[in-house]
Amino acid sequence: MLLWILGLVLAAIIAAALILVVTPIRRNLISKPLFAWFKTVMPPMSETEQEAIAAGDTWHEANLFQGRPQWQQFLQNPKPTLTPEEQDFLDNEVERFCEMLDEWQIVHKDYDFPESAWNYLKTAGFLGLHVPKKYGGKNFSALASSTVVQKIATKSLSAAVSVMVPNSLGPAELILHYGTEDQKNKYLHLLAKGLAMPCFALTAPDAGSDATSITDSGEICYGSWDGKDQVLGIKLNFSKRYITLAPIANLIGLAVKLSDPQQLLGTKTELGITVVLLENITAGVEIGARHYPLNQAFFNGPIRGRNVFVPLDNIIGGQKMIGHGWKMLVECLASGRGISLPALSTALGKHCYRVTGAYAKLRQQFKVSIGNFEGVATAMARIAGHTYMLEATRLLTLSAIDQKFKPSVITAISKYHMTEMSRVVINDAMDVHGGRGIMMGPRNYLATSYEGVPISITVEGANILTRCLMIFGQGAIRCHPYVLRELNAVKESDPQRALAEFDAALFKHICYALANFSKLKVHSLSGAHFCEAPEHAGWKRYYQWLSFFSIALACSADLGMLVLGGNLKRKENLSARLGDVLSYLYIASAVLKYNYDYKNDAADYKLTKWSLDFCLYKIQESFDYFYLNLDSFMGKIISCYISPPWRNFRMPSDKLAIEISKDMMQPSLFRERLTSHCVVSKSADDPVARVELAWLEMVRVTPLIHKLDEYVRAEQIDKNLRMFHRIQAALDKGFITNDEAAALNHFETLRLDAIQVDEFTEAQLKGLEK
């Protein structure tokens, strides 16, 4: 009997192997029906979707997605480093520019920064950070331009946005990558020197997230230009809104849908999205008034145009780029997303780390620095952990961009997660500051950032959409080794070739999936102890668990696609959760790389641990909710097959949070490194300096404060006396010296000033009086 059963099993295995290995059998029995099914379940991909997916490259995230992170190779990526010229620019020009900025005056009085600051910005080269030197720019790395924006943002968000926009997606970037030589020679010098002020106009009232649905039009026709008639060109009609810098721009990059109804260029009448350069003085262009984005002072507004005529030479890249506008935008956005908004988010993290650490020591309630209360410490540790993840992720993504990758998936991950992390950080910082964060005025160093966060969340791909559609949607297709080939087979017009293509990809796909499912089982049974991991300062187990989850992601992605097919795209929450897994794997990798590059000092150790525990917990949670909501029998079976070990992870412990908050309240080299490139003014009336100086003084006089406290406890000084009187009493009784009394008085003056908030008269609030 046993022999019979063994024989049957053997025969079944041989039959399955034959079906899989012998191509004609496999093709007819498996691939053909599956291909027919595949064609019905995969939603048709529009040309613009195809272009978006084809844009950019993949990098470390592809290995994470496929269940094979190459840790050794990953750690060998260069440590991001500024050149001496870039460092010099940050230490001098950026410092000088920041000194010209008074955020309260900019945001609540002038709605602009001073003309001298604008002039300096232009002449010192801030607007051409990426433009090559031969066109008059700085030719800086992505790391440098991110750091410039980040540093300015710690002083003024509005100023940072005004620097960031000309250096990110816009005319300069588009001309640099796609422009004709004539366009480069004509415009890049002007842009780099600030003689032309750019803006980029895509969004329209009916086309926000769904930007390809713009109805702004360009029609090929003859018109008059530069005194000549019968010039072949484009008649533009458009209405754009939300355009940053539009109110002061004189060079507009305009996205329109181009058509050629008279077939003047060829036989096609619909030519697709095209980007056109337009000067503000062109007849028919109307620059609207200003929008007012959440109390920020950077320029933003609508632009409209009726029957505006420009010659064909105004198309960025010339005639050959007609219809490629969407590809150009998506490609530039692929890199840009990894630079600007992550820089703003990291700036916010660093700023909050510094000021909250200092304020939480300075501010005492119940006779204790508030940072010592467990609840406050938990919020502070969240600020620290998120700031650590922000800086690590910023540097890792910039390292990919500076190695000349155009990584569309990791830049989407960075954009979404880093702006969301900055939202967590500022909320916690506000809570820790209590009323001090709420009362508006020149002393408040949090309120403008708090108001500004939703802007970062919304621009360059609003966050909900980025999470739900882009990270996994694009990631699954770009990072999966076979899915794109399978999708491309559907487009193949020759049916035989299509089936052969599909079959080849499918066979490899099946082998890949079987290998991943087997690996997953082995590693789940062995507690991931056999997963690949480098020997890096005691972090081996974390690498192993990340490798394990990477394999689990590869399996879950295949499972999701098998169970839901094209519906996975519509099941946004499911794909978002797998996107979250990929994202936290990426963020955890960034943390390990940061730790590797900076050699793991004691404070690094705590924050690396906090961040990795947080990421593993988030990965576990994302998987849990993915399987909970994957409403399918097969999903349930497979979830049982792979699930057990990932219920082990917990959020970082209270003990760790308390230790981290203590570190935040002390000056240290680590604090200076983590918050590097924060503007720290020495001026006593700067809002941050007020707190920073008082805090440093507090650290210096802490032994004296303890000495006074002892006399109070011993009832030798009256406990009901206020601080100045206590100091006087201690001096009168000879408990402290004159110098000590002076130091304590100085500190108390600074402390009282630092916890102060602003007051306004009725007339001032109504704007009647300055």
Ligand X SMILES: Cc1cc2nc3c(=O)[nH]c(=O)nc-3n(C[C@H](O)[C@H](O)[C@H](O)COP(=O)(O)OP(=O)(O)OC[C@H]3O[C@@H](n4cnc5c(N)ncnc54)[C@H](O)[C@@H]3O)c2cc1C
Residues that bind ligand X (CB under 6 A): 199-203, 208-209, 242-244, 293, 300, 455, 458-459, 462, 464-465, 468-469, 572
Burial (CB < 10 A; 0-12, 13-18, 19+), residue 650, is: exposed
Nearest-approach distance from CB 741 to ligand X, in angstroms: 52
Instruction: Give, for 104, the enclosing helix (H) or strand (E).
Output: helix 103-104
* Cα–Cα dist 528/280, whole Å: 61
What's the closest the beta carbon of residue 244 comes to ligand X, in angstroms?
4
Cα–Cα distance, 245 to 290 (Å, whole number): 9
| Closest by CA position to 199, among listed 252, 256, 240 | 252
For ligand X, which is the closer residue by CB, 70 or 209?
209
- Catalytic residue from among 51, 86, 103, 460: 460
The C-alpha atoms of residue 309 and residue 577 are separated, in whole angstroms, by 47
Q: Which tokens is 562 given?
A: 């098998």
Closest CA to 534 of 522, 523, 542: 542
Please state the separation of Cα 417 from the chain's center in Å. Answer: 6
Give residues with Cβ within 8 angstroms of 78, minimum separation 6. Answer: 399, 403
Residues 6+ apart with CB under 8 A from 151: 90, 94, 98, 347, 677, 678, 679
Q: Residue 206 Cβ, how far from ligand X at the closest point, in Å?
A: 9
Residue 492 annotated among the catalytic residues of the structure: no
**What one-letter code names the amino acid at 329?**
L
Closest separation in Å from C-beta 424 to ligand X: 18
Q: How far is the CB of 291 from ligand X (least distance, A)?
A: 7
Q: Find the shortest distance in angstroms from Cβ 168 to ligand X.
A: 9
Nearer to ligand X among residue 449 and residue 620 (C-beta): 449
Give the separation between CA 343 and CA 354, rounded to whole angstroms.
17
3-state class percentages of the chain: helix first, strand second, coil last, to nearest 5: 65, 10, 25
Closest CA to 150 of 2, 309, 344: 344
DSSP string computed for 757-770: -----HHHHTTS--
CA 370 to chain CA centroid, nearest Å: 31
Question: In angstroms, what is the minimal distance from the CB of 310 to ligand X?
Answer: 19
Q: Which residue of the chain is nearest ligand X when measured via CB?
A: 208
C-beta of 340 vs 589, nearer to ligand X: 340
CB of 169 to ligand X, least distance (A): 8
In the structure encoding, which two tokens stand for residue 141, read together?
Answer: 């790395």
Do β-strands 285-287 and 217-225 pair in parallel, antiparallel, or remain unpaired?
A: unpaired
Q: Which is nearer to ligand X, 200 or 594 (by Cβ)?
A: 200
Cβ atoms of residues 386 and 424 within 8 Å: yes
CB closer to ligand X, 99 vs 572 = 572
The two structure tokens encoding residue 113: 């920064």
- CA atoms of 398 and 22, how far apart (whole Å): 46
Helix (H, G, I), strand (E, B) or coil at 482: coil
Query: Which residue, 202 or 487, has its beta carbon nearer to ligand X?
Result: 202
Q: Which is nearer to ligand X, 208 or 223 (CB)?
A: 208
Least distance CB 245 / ligand X (angstroms): 7
CB-based contacts of 563, cutoff 8 Å, min separation 6: 630, 632, 634, 635
Nearer to ligand X, 201 or 258 (CB): 201
- Helix H or strand E segment including 85: helix 84-89
Query: Which CB atom, from 161 or from 587, has the smaller least distance to ligand X?
Result: 161
* Active-site residue set: 460
